[in-house]
Structure 1
Amino acid sequence: MTKAVGEFYLAEDDEVAVKVGPGKRHEFPAVPCDGIYPDDAALRWQVLLTGSSGEDSVATGRLRDVVPMANDGFTVFAVPDELRTALAVAGGERLRTTAVAWAETCYPDYEISPDAAVGLLERLAALAARGVEHELSLYCWYFAP
């Protein structure tokens, strides 16, 4: 079975954000997220970092699609600003706790070790902080064949 490939990246807006995808070169600051389903992961991270519940994207299990997934398995979604900010301000221990909890709950769907999960969230937090600083939105594209 082929694993998903993708990346989280910063862009000015939706119009700019749609210019990415598999095999497309770009200059956006980015963090690869191969081997996971980042839409599911983002929803779980938001719960773990913010405790969100109720009538929001976590409760409904939906993120805002910029390019809705079609039969080709490609999608682009916008990361909620609440999650971008939570990632940007989360400290080292908070990120570590979140990453380990996520890695433990997502196995066997993803074969990601707690250490690899921590590394991913640390890189993503740095990217999110850059987005907050420069007023850029956080997006993710992925391809799941």
Structure 2
Amino acid sequence: MSTIIKFFVAPDHSAAAVVDVGPDDFFESLTFGNFDAEEAPIEWESIFTGQTFEDLVAADVSKVVADPGDGDGPVVLAVSQALQDALTAADEQRLVEVSRLWVAERSADGEVFDEGIAVWILSGLAGLVRAIGRKPEGLYCWTA
């Protein structure tokens, strides 16, 4: 499970350049902690789109952009366009619904996660993605 998670907006996979230092000095970012940043975006997309987690993993959703330590250290992931689109389109009610379903999913796996924090995370990400607008940028996740 990741302890430091930063979602950020970057123009392209050059986002990989921040893998060793994090995005703070280079890109606008949101910082979270203590959830699995590699699985959560896949789980969120599964809930938003109705696709199974397994199908999304098979489709290589949340592509690894940089992983210099082969899983032992910081990593940069590209968040899928489908999740970005779902976050952009979601109103507050939908964000609450997806958060509730995600918390229930985590609970089924034995994790305790506060629904209010889940809503805060997804609302923050929705705001960050909406700020992209029509710019040729995407959402990335750095975790260490």
TM-score, normalised relative to structure 2: 0.83
Which segment is superposed worse, 95-104 or 62-71? 62-71
| Contact preservation (8 Å) 2:66, 2:77 | yes
Unaligned runs of 5+ in 2: none
Which segment is superposed worse, 17-26 or 38-47? 17-26
The aligned residue for residue 92 of structure 1 is 92
The aligned residue for residue 77 of structure 2 is 77
Shift of 1:27: 3.6
In the aligned structure 2, how far is the partner of 1:142 from the partner of 1:96? Answer: 24
TM-score, normalised relative to structure 1: 0.83
The aligned residue for residue 43 of structure 1 is 42
In the aligned structure 2, how far is the partner of 1:94 from the partner of 1:137? Answer: 22
| Contact preservation (8 Å) 2:76, 2:142 | yes
The aligned residue for residue 126 of structure 1 is 127
Unaligned runs of 5+ in 1: none
Query: How many residues of Structure 1 are paired with residues of Structure 2 in the alignment?
Result: 141
| Contact preservation (8 Å) 1:21, 1:142 | no
In the aligned structure 1, how far is the partner of 2:50 from the partner of 2:25? Answer: 34
In the aligned structure 2, how far is the partner of 1:44 from the partner of 1:7? Answer: 17
Q: What amino acid is aligned across from residue 96 of structure 1 in structure 2?
A: V
The aligned residue for residue 4 of structure 2 is 5
Distance 1:39 1:99, change over 3 A: same
Distance 1:12 1:109, change over 3 A: farther
Q: Deviations over 1:91-142 (max 9, x none)?
A: 1111100011101211366542001100110000001111243231110011
In the aligned structure 2, how far is the partner of 1:109 from the partner of 1:73? Answer: 25
Q: Deviations over 1:40-65 (max 9, x none)?
A: 11001001111235996x15273211
For the residue of structure 2 that corresponds to 1:38, the secondary structure is coil
In the aligned structure 2, how far is the partner of 1:36 from the partner of 1:105? Answer: 13
Shift of 1:16: 3.6
| Contact preservation (8 Å) 2:10, 2:139 | yes
Deviation >2 Å, runs of 4+: 20-25, 52-56, 107-112, 131-135
Q: What amino acid is aligned across from residue 5 of structure 1 in structure 2?
A: I
In the aligned structure 1, how far is the partner of 2:46 from the partner of 2:117? Answer: 20
| Contact preservation (8 Å) 1:103, 1:117 | yes
In the aligned structure 2, how far is the partner of 1:121 from the partner of 1:100? Answer: 11
